[in-house]
Amino acid sequence: MVNDMNFFVKYRTNEGTDAARSTIIHDMANEEDILKDDLKYYFMNPCDKYRARRQIPWKLGVQILKIIMITTQLVLFGLNNQLVVSYKEENAMAFKSLFLKDYTCFLYLISQLNNLSVGPVSYGEDDSKLVPLVICKEHYKRGTVEPSDESYDIDAQIETVCLSLDPTSLDSWKTNNESFFVLDFYRLIDVKISFQLKGINLQTVRSRELPDCYTFFVTITFDNHSHSGKIKIFFDIDAISSACKNWKISGTARKNSHYLLVFDGFVILVCLTSAVLCTRSIVLAMKLLKRFSTFFHVNYKRKVCKADQKHFFNGWYILVIISDIMAIVGSILKMEIQSKSMTSYDVCSIFLGTSTLMVWVGVIRYLGYFQKYNVLILTMKAAFPKVLRFCCCAGMIYLGYTFCGWIVLGPYHEKFEGLSRVAECLFSLVNGDDMFTTFAQFQEKSMLVWLFSRVYLYSFISLFIYMVLSLFIALITDAYETIKNYQKTGFPMTDLQKFLKDHRDFSCSEDIGEMEMDCLSFSCCRRPPKDDDILLIS
């Protein structure tokens, strides 16, 4: 295809003759027809493309295959992950009940764990030796406190003292470390007990997989930071899975992870194919935009407006590419987990879950080809700019209520103790959730604060439910009504649509002032700002 600028230079010397002029017109017509055909083909849906040029819609086929495979992969991983999560949670509950219910017998329970636990759990070993149990205490370096005389003498420097103890030598612990177990509670900050347990998850046998071995890192903290007379007890457990060293299993159960690894590899291949096809489509669209811009500028002395440029930039392709990348990363992590090389279930779940979400959201793109199904997409596009600006304004008021509620009501209500909890509580109130409980739980220790809480809650609920939320819904409803009217009377036409329909009137639509100056100076089509609705191809 001959470049338009070189084309006119080539025929400039002969433009006075009738033959040259007719040749130029004929070539221009051919150039315009070819460009129109390419543009029309680009904006066709896959079915129309197949009818027009008998080209198989490979991208559509790959996307359908990818949806099926990624969803299947997610379900398989979710079922396996559910077993792992339930195993960890149930073991944590069992350990809490075992060690914290009567922690005066804690040391005895540790030594007799094999006999007391009904699960396959025992104390941790390293090279056939029990892993030492570590007890650490933090306390102020020195201090004397006399509440009756309202006097104290505290050295705020914190000291940490730790002991590594053999779980089997219970009798010698206190005898050999008597001074360590003498606690001055007015100096004590906390005591931490750390140890390791080993367990085997036998429930995976029924899913035809080899059981995993787990190492539980347990930490029990006796927190005395507040020195209020109440010592808080925290139980933390972290589980790490690994392949068992010595195993033997018979019967119908057998290791089938290699089939899943092959399936995950095929998912990666399909996602790579999808990403390559979408990237190719983006590159071809940019080339087509460049051809159209050059032709439009040479023949009509105009630039392609931003609204038309956006039609060539397909955001769905970007969404698909991002979902493909996340699916590939998630599949690699899943393969690492299945081969026992890593145990990052949470990270893998985030990648696989997000990629599946994006894949299913991308299905809306194909529904958008049908006029009766694309109302949601068009309404979201039209309402998004207004909603975004509206949320920015409403967010300022929301933040003000959040900070105010935290500083004033935090000491009197558990839902207002932290900034994140205040934001969550207010969001629940906006949606009409748990209103009466929030009112009723305020303590009446301070009448002033109680009255303030009523004014605070009534004003927030009234403002956000009756005004802010109603306006928010009205913006979306207005955009929906606009789209319905456009579907009946026709969408506003851009320069691109006029060009494809052989309209020669590329007049600028502008209001006054700056809009008119921009249109005249840049020769670009503009839309009137009165409706603030984006132009859409129906």
3-state SS string for 324-342: HHHHHHHHHHHHHHHCCCC
pLDDT value of residue 535: 33
Summarised one tens digit per residue, pLDDT across range 186-211 is 888 898 988 888 888 887 776 666 77
pLDDT value of residue 522: 32
pLDDT value of residue 13: 46
Q: Are 409 and 449 in contact (CB under 8 A)?
A: yes
Q: Is the pTM of this model over 0.75?
A: no
Mean pLDDT confidence for 48-53: 72
Residue identified by tokens 């103790």 is 417
Mean pLDDT confidence for 29-38: 72
DSSP-assigned letter for residue 492 = P
Q: How confident is the model at residue 351 (pLDDT cuts 50, 70, 90)?
A: very high
Summarised one tens digit per residue, pLDDT across range 229-244 is 888 888 888 888 777 7
- CA 372 – CA 249 distance, rounded (Å): 57
| HEC string for 243-282 | CCCCCCCCCCCCCCHHHHHHHHHHHHHHHHHHHHHHHHHH
Q: Are 461 and 428 in contact (CB under 8 A)?
A: no
pLDDT value of residue 510: 37
DSSP-assigned letter for residue 303 = P
Q: Are 189 and 221 in contact (CB under 8 A)?
A: no
Closest-CA residue to 80 (of 347, 331, 345, 377): 345
What's the whole-number average pLDDT of the chain? Answer: 76
Which token pair is 444? Answer: 């009446």
**What is the amino acid identity at position 472?**
F
491 or 376: whose pLDDT is higher?
Answer: 376
- CA 139 – CA 225 distance, rounded (Å): 10
145 or 6: whose pLDDT is higher?
Answer: 145
Residue identified by tokens 């969404």 is 319
Q: Angle 219-224-225 (CA atoms, 0-180°, nearest 5)?
A: 105
DSSP-assigned letter for residue 222 = E
Of 29-38, 236-245, 442-451, minimum mean pLDDT range:
29-38
- CA 468 – CA 462 distance, rounded (Å): 9
Q: Which residues contact 208 (CB under 8 A, 6 or more apart)?
A: 252, 253, 254, 256
pLDDT above 60 for 114: no
